[in-house]
Homo-oligomer: A and B are copies of this chain.
């Protein structure tokens, strides 16, 4: 199974707010760029807001970044949109047999490895910022 596209959409939203910073970014406008329903955008935007990445206010059109571009990592976005719970990237099989040597110990052992692997992935996300994404997109457009 794949990690929810909320993450990709969250990145899209933040990137668009920056690139389009001279104009007002309503949920409808953003939905037009992402190609989805405005309510989906508002829901994800609410998560970004709770995480302190974005400023939006009821009744007032438009969203703005709440932090500097270069201080928002993709890990921040990933955590904000809640696509993977802490230490739950991998599922552990529940209730193995405690009467079996392997059954009663495998969960601890495997959890530890899974945790390490998940951390490696998250560290990779931490090295990239929204600024990097914006720069990369503008770069692509030049060619």
Q: Which residues of A contact B (CB under 8 A)?
A: 1-5, 7-9, 11-12, 15-16, 19-20, 32-36, 74, 83-85, 88-97, 100-103, 105-106, 108-110, 112-114, 116-125, 128, 133, 136-137, 140-141
Q: How many copies of this chain sit in the oligomeric assembly? A: 2
The A contact surface, by secondary structure, is helix
Q: Which residues of chain B have C-beta atoms less than 8 A from A35's C-beta? A: 93-97, 103
Residue of B nearest to A122 (CB): B117
- Tell me the bound Cα distance from A92 to B84 in angstroms: 15
The CA of A109 and the CA of B131, in the complex, are separated in Å by: 12
Counting from the closest, the 6 A-B pairs by CB-CB distance are: A121-B121, A5-B91, A117-B124, A120-B124, A33-B100, A2-B91
